Each structure stands twice: as structure tokens, then as C-alpha cells.
């Protein structure tokens, strides 16, 4: 939620900041703003502009009324929490004397009390935001004669909640100061210039050298260097790292949407996430797992926590873990987890799944688990983000940056990581023989080509999507590992096309949802592969039941499944894969369907209304 950029160097800060915001816009797009430090008659001054709506509105405004030249600036793209998304509430906010400009991501929980304190001192606050309170607080410290770094440290000691703050001081034009608590911020390290960003996309065009910061730290960037301290002023260190993707990964590559590009990147993303997992001894190795095999052997319960699409990856993981490892596994929404007083012990493994690694609900859930001494393993796509940093172990997915707000390659690579974890636990616990594990690994190695085969048939899905423009409601049915796929298909349609969509376990139909079936209602059915269990045949019974009541059935079934033909109004064929791995191929047509339907309906696929990519507030 919210994208933040800071820059000091020798380039025109306006350009660096606006381009940085463009790459961060997926984090929030209710309003955008910029502040630059410049000089008027030899005295420093702040020049700023901000506009409600997308970054394009701000871009237009500063093209029509250009800001002064400056090499120091900050910028913000907002996902509104406190106050409506209008010009006044947009960031940056200024202090009482307009000496300081500040941008913010997060929620300052004690803002009402601080606002009352400031107002009692005669401050007039113009907006409804918690951010303006922080701007006045930091500027109040500045007027005490200290520099911006100390002013920020002092102000942060008064703040409660989660925040990233970035500020500039008109009287100190070569310095940008930021602070973070429970909210993302990374430093970009350049030559004669330095950067701040909510994530590395903000500055990837300029440098791939980055520094991650710890909790409760203040960072000061100048042209010459970077200094990190605690909120109390004590010296601290950031951790340097090299970003292993480049500008081209952050661009659309000829596609109309990042989402479509990311869907098409899935064969490579899945292949990359599988790379290097089999050792020369034939054993599966997950080198990022910092828990010992003994620790893992002692695990007697697994709880998976996640939100949204990542939660559905967790649902698939449950099937794999219980089947291959025989360890009881629960899957829980991170936002519910700590409020139900979960039973956690030292032998519970909590698996947190998060593409961004910054989701506030998931972060708070793992903190709760660690307080109860449970071990935490993160499955994450973002190096250096908070959730993996606060976990005992991490399996990184290698999807590359996911910019479309709707998760696609993030989901498929999370599935891969879940399968790998399940197989690894099976190896450590001895619940599967080595040749069984190898057989599944061989099947996984074939998946990228199978996803490609689904993508090669995209034209058929697009034709189908075009027929459903204007449809009011769509149902999705699945069983077993196909049930989370149905939920994911419905979520994609809701978030992109704003169509009412529900996913159901097909066996539940008769217990209520079948009442929703009416003439011509589209029902997308994820048909399990034919196997020794009865899943396939039971699914066909469910499909017959909805068809008998007038539904139009769009069935996703494996090639050669002739049994489904009489019951499918539309048949989408999937490559043959085992039931547990079917989500890796069955999800792809549903992603394409939602992306195309939303496109045909004229929606902004990459930035759907009311959403933001990473939900950093609870």
C-alpha cells in the first residue's frame, strides 16, 4: 500500500521521482505527489504538487506548470487509509512553516492524540490524514535546532503503529531522511547519488545495488553516502545486496498489461523455481531452509497462514503435505489466525506464504507464532522483505518481480515451493521412498512445457471471454486440489472484471449453492484427472446436476477425457498431470479468462479499483 520514492544526486530529481513512482504505482493509485528542494534568492524552499487519481494526473499538472530544477526530491503514490483520496489528503504533507515535506506509508495509530496535542499548540492541520501529523511533528523538532536526521529520530519515538516516512528539509537541500517500522523501505546505492523506495523497482533503472533496513531504523541519504541509526540515534547497519533482476523485468515487454506478461512468464518462473533443487546425491535440497533435519523431524503439526491468492496456494499445499508427509496440516487466513488463540507448540511448523513478503496480516501472524516458540518457514518471492527476514527459514520462489496487482506467476511458483516443501519433509521424515520423490520431481520438471502448451491455446480462451462481457455472475466448481483453483479463478474474476464470482467445492453444491443455478449461468468446472479415486466421476455427477438446471458448463479437463464431452458446453483441454499437480496447469486458463474479460470490459487490469498490490496495513 502506497509507493514511496526519495532521491538525492546530480540528476533532475523530478524525473527520477516520477519514473520511480511509475514503477511503484501498482502499490496504490488513489493519488500521487512530489516535493523538491530548490533555492529561492539563495534560500532553500520546498516546491510540491499533488493530485488525486492516477500518477498521470500529477504528470499532466507538472508538465503544464513545471516545478523548479532540483536534484533532491521525494514522491508518493497513495492507497488511501485516513481520509478520502482527494488533492488535500494526497502526499506530500508540509509542516506548519512549509520547511519540511513528508510522505508516508502505513498507519500511525496514535495520530488522534498527537493531532490534538499539535492543535493545542496552535498548529492548523489541513488534511484528514495521519501523515500530516507526522510532518508537523518532525518539523517541530527541526525548529528546535537539530538536523533532519535527529528530528526524524525524535519524532519516530512518539509514533505508534506501522510507518515508512521519507522527508526533506528546505534548509538542508542535500539530505533525504527516512524511517521505518513494520512497513517496507529499501535504499538504492548509486555513484554520487542514492535512492529510497518502497521496493527496488523504484530505482532499478539506476542501480541494482541495494540495502535492506531493520525495524525501527532511520536512514539518511546524501550524494556521498548512507547512514543508518536506530530511533534512539544509536549507529546501526543495513544489509547490502545485489538485485538479480533488471529494468527489462519491470517493463511490459510488448504486452498490453503486466498481468498478461506475467501469465506468459509462468513456464520460466516455474522452471526457475525448480532449478537446483536436486543434489548430486539424488536427494532433494532446499538450501534456504535454515532449520535442521532434526528440527523438521520433530514437527507434528503444520499451520499454513496466508491471504488472498497465497491462501489458495496454502490450500493446495495441505493436500500435498498430508498426502506425502502424513503430518496434520491446517490452512488459515492470516487475518483470522492470531485472534482465535491457535494452539501452537515448539513442534508446530508455521508456513507463511506471501508473494510480497510485506502483507501486514501475515507478518503479524508469524510474529504471534514465534512468540509461542513455533518455527516459522516463509515462502516468498521478494528477497529482503520483512516476512522472510523474520522467519526461521525461507524458500524463495523465483518468479521475478510481479507488478500486476492480480497475482499469477506468484501463485504458480508458490505452488511449486509448497510441493518442494512437502517432498522435502517426506524425505526427512521418511514417509516417501526416494524413487517416489524423484518421480514427482520428474513430473514437476515437465510442468513448464505443459503450461506453455496451455498458453499456446490462449486464443480459444480469449474468444470465450469475449462472449461473457457484461455477464453478471459466474460460478467456479472444483474438487480436491481443484477446489482452491476454483476459488482462485473466482477471485481473479472478481478483482479484475468486477463480476460477482464464487468458487465452490463441487460436493457442497447440493448443500446450498445449487439454488443459485439458473438458465445460462456460466459455471466453470475444474475436472480432476481420471484416477483410481472416484473424484473424476463424482465431479461429473455435479456437472450433470448444474447442467440439468440450465447452467452453461465450461469444463477444464485433461486431454483424452471423453467422459466429460457430453456434459461440457465448452471444453478446455489441459495437459495430463497427476491430480495433486493439476493446479499448476488448470489455473492458467482461468487467469487468461479473467485478464481478457476485464480487458474487453475496458477495465484497468494492472490496477483494479480499490486494490493495491501489497497490503501493508491490517
Task: Select 381 or 427, whichever has its Cβ closest to ligand M6R.
Answer: 381
Q: Which of 71, 153, 220, 359 binds ligand M6R (CB under 6 A)?
A: 359
Q: Are residues 558 and 530 in contact, defined by beta-carbon separation less than 8 angstroms?
A: yes
Total residues at the site for ligand M6R (CB under 6 A)?
Answer: 15
Least distance CB 262 / ligand M6R (angstroms): 11
Q: What single string gives the DSSP state of each residue in 409-455? A: HHHHHHHHHHHHHHHHHHHHHTSS-HHHHHHHHHHHHTHHHHHHHHH
- Taking CB under 6 A as the rule, does residue 199 contact ligand M6R? no
Interface segment toward ligand M6R; rule CB under 6 A; list 290-298, 337-345, 349-357, 580-588: 349-357
Closest-CB residue for ligand M6R? 308
Least distance CB 152 / ligand M6R (angstroms): 28
- Taking CB under 6 A as the rule, does residue 316 contact ligand M6R? no
Interface segment toward ligand M6R; rule CB under 6 A; list 274-282, 354-362, 422-430, 469-477: 354-362
- Taking CB under 6 A as the rule, does residue 405 contact ligand M6R? yes
Q: Which of 48, 153, 229, 407 binds ligand M6R (CB under 6 A)?
A: 407
Sheet of 43-52, strands arranged across: 43-52, 31-40, 72-78, 3-8, 194-197, 186-189, 209-212, 239-242
Task: Select 127 or 407, whichever has its Cβ closest to ligand M6R.
Answer: 407
Q: Which residues are catalytic?
A: 2, 613
Taking alpha carbons only, the member of 618, 556, 542 closest to residue 586 is 556
Taking alpha carbons only, the member of 86, 79, 95, 71 closest to residue 155 is 95
- Taking CB under 6 A as the rule, does residue 355 contact ligand M6R? yes
Q: Which of 173, 184, 238, 308 binds ligand M6R (CB under 6 A)?
A: 308
- Taking CB under 6 A as the rule, does residue 273 contact ligand M6R? no
- Taking CB under 6 A as the rule, does residue 354 contact ligand M6R? yes
How many other C-beta atoms are found inside a 10 Å radius of the C-beta of residue 146? Answer: 13
What is d(CA 558, CA 575) in angstroms, rounded to the nearest whole number? 6
Interface segment toward ligand M6R; rule CB under 6 A; list 119-127, 236-244, 400-408, 527-535: 400-408
Task: Select 406 or 423, whichever has its Cβ closest to ligand M6R.
Answer: 406
Cis amide bond preceding 92, omega within 30: yes
SS (H, E, C) 271-286: HHHHCCCECCCCCECC
Task: Select 130 or 488, whichever has its Cβ closest to ligand M6R.
Answer: 488
- Taking CB under 6 A as the rule, does residue 307 contact ligand M6R? yes
**How much is the CA Rg of the chain, to the nearest whole Å?**
26
Interface segment toward ligand M6R; rule CB under 6 A; list 80-88, 355-363, 429-437, 529-537: 355-363
How many other C-beta atoms are found inside a 10 Å radius of the C-beta of residue 413? Answer: 31
Q: Which of 131, 229, 362, 553 binds ligand M6R (CB under 6 A)?
A: 362
Main-chain phi, psi angles of 468, to 5 degrees: -105, 15
Determine whether 453 is exposed, middle or buried from the number of CB atoms within 10 Å of its CB (0-12, 13-18, 19+).
middle
Least distance CB 2 / ligand M6R (angstroms): 15
- Taking CB under 6 A as the rule, does residue 614 contact ligand M6R? yes
Q: Are residues 361 and 354 in contact, defined by beta-carbon separation less than 8 angstroms?
A: no
What is d(CA 335, CA 310) in angstroms, rounded to the nearest whole number? 13
Q: Are residues 410 and 402 in contact, defined by beta-carbon separation less than 8 angstroms?
A: yes
Least distance CB 146 / ligand M6R (angstroms): 37
Main-chain phi, psi angles of 552, to 5 degrees: -100, 115
Q: What single string gives the DSSP state of each residue in 60-120? A: HHHHHSPPPP-SEEEEEEE--SSS-SSTTTSSPEE-TTS-EEEEEEEEETTHHHHHHHHHH
Interface segment toward ligand M6R; rule CB under 6 A; list 20-28, 139-147, 303-311, 557-565: 303-311
Task: Select 95 or 197, whichever has its Cβ closest to ligand M6R.
Answer: 197
- Taking CB under 6 A as the rule, does residue 9 contact ligand M6R? no
What residues line the site for ligand M6R (CB under 6 A)? 307-310, 354-356, 359, 362, 405-407, 495, 614-615
Amino acid at each position: 500500500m502506497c509507493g514511496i520514492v526519495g532521491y538525492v544526486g546530480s540528476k533532475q530529481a523530478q524525473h527520477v521521482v516520477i519514473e520511480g513512482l511509475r514503477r511503484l504505482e501498482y502499490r496504490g493509485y488513489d493519488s500521487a505527489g512530489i516535493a523538491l528542494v530548490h533555492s529561492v534568492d539563495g534560500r532553500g524552499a520546498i516546491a510540491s504538487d499533488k493530485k488525486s487519481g492516477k500518477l498521470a494526473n500529477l504528470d499532466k499538472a507538472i508538465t503544464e506548470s513545471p516545478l523548479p530544477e532540483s536534484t533532491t526530491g521525494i514522491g508518493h503514490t497513495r492507497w488511501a487509509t485516513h481520509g478520502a483520496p482527494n488533492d488535500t489528503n494526497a502526499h506530500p504533507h508540509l509542516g506548519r512553516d512549509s520547511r519540511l515535506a513528508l510522505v508516508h506509508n502505513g498507519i500511525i495509530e496514535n495520530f488522534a492524540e498527537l493531532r490534538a496535542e499539535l492543535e493545542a499548540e496552535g498548529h492548523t492541520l489541513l488534511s484528514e490524514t495521519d501523515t500530516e501529523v507526522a510532518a508537523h511533528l518532525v518539523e517541530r523538532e527541526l525548529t528546535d535546532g537539530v538536523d533532519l536526521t535527529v528530528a526524524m529520530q525524535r519524532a519516530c519515538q512518539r509514533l505508534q503503529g506501522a510507518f515508512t516516512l521519507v522527508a526533506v528539509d528546505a534548509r538542508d537541500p542535500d539530505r533525504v531522511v527516512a524511517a521505518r517500522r513494520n512497513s517496507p523501505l529499501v535504499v538504492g546505492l548509486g555513484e554520487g547519488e542514492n535512492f529510497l523506495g518502497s521496493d527496488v523497482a523504484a530505482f532499478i533503472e539506476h542501480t541494482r545495488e541495494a540495502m535492506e533496513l531493520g525495524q525501527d531504523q532511520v536512514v539518511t541519504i546524501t550524494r556521498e553516502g548512507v547512514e543508518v541509526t536506530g530511533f534512539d540515534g544509536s549507529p546501526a547497519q543495513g544489509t547490502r545486496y545485489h538485485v538479480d533482476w533488471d529494468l527489462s523485468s519491470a517493463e511490459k515487454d510488448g504486452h498490453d498489461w503486466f498481468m498478461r506478461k506475467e501469465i506468459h512468464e509462468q513456464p520460466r518462473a516455474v522452471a526457475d523455481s525448480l532449478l537446483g533443487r536436486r543434489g548430486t546425491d539424488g536427494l532433494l535440497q532446499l538450501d534456504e531452509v535454515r532449520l535442521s533435519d532434526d528440527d523438521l523431524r520433530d514437527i507434528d503439526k503444520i499451520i499454513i497462514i496466508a491471504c488472498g491468492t497465497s491462501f489458495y496456494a496454502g490450500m493446495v499445499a495441505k493436500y500435498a503435505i498430508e498426502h506425502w508427509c502424513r503430518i496434520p496440516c491446517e490452512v488459515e487466513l492470516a487475518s483470522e489466525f492470531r485472534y482465535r488463540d491457535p494452539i501452537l507448540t515448539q513442534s508446530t511448523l508455521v508456513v507463511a506464504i506471501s508473494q510480497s513478503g510485506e502483507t501486514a496480516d501475515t507478518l503479524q501472524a508469524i510474529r504471534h507464532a514465534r512468540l509461542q516458540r513455533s518455527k516459522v518457514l516463509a515462502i516468498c518471492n521478494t528477497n529482503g522483505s520483512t516476512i522472510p527476514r523474520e522467519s526461521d527459514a525461507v524458500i524463495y520462489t523465483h518468479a521475478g518481480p510481479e507488478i500486476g496487482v492480480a497475482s499469477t506467476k506468484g501463485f504458480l511458483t508458490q505452488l511449486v515451493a509448497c510441493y518442494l516443501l512437502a517432498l522435502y519433509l517426506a524425505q526427512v521424515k521418511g514417509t516417501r521412498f526416494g524413487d517416489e520423490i524423484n518421480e514427482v520431481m520428474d513430473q514437476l520438471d515437465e510442468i513448464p512445457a505443459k503450461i506453455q502448451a496451455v498458453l499456446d491455446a490462449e486464443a480459444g480462451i480469449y474468444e470465450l471471454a469475449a462472449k461473457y462481457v457484461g455477464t453478471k455472475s459466474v460460478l467456479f466448481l472444483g474438487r480436491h486440489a481443484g477446489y482452491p483453483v476454483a476459488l482462485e479463478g473466482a477471485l481473479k474474476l472478481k478483482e479484475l472484471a468486477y463480476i460477482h464470482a464464487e468458487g465452490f467445492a463441487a460436493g457442497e453444491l447440493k448443500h446450498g449453492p445449487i439454488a443459485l443455478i439458473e438458465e445460462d449461468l456460466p459455471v466453470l468446472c475444474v475436472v480432476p484427472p481420471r484416477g483410481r479415486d472416484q473424484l473424476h466421476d463424482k465431479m461429473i455427477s455435479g456437472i450433470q446436476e448444474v447442467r440439468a438446471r440450465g447452467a452453461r458448463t465450461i469444463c477444464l479437463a485433461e486431454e483424452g477425457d471423453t467422459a466429460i464431452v457430453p456434459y461440457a458446453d465448452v471444453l478446455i483441454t489441459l495437459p495430463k498431470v497427476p491430480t495433486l499437480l493439476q493446479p499448476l496447469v488448470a489455473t492458467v486458463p482461468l487467469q487468461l479468462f479473467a485478464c481478457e474479460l476485464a480487458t474487453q470490459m475496458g477495465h484497468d487490469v494492472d490496477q483494479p479499483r480499490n486494490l493495491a498490490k501489497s497490503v501493508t496495513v491490517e
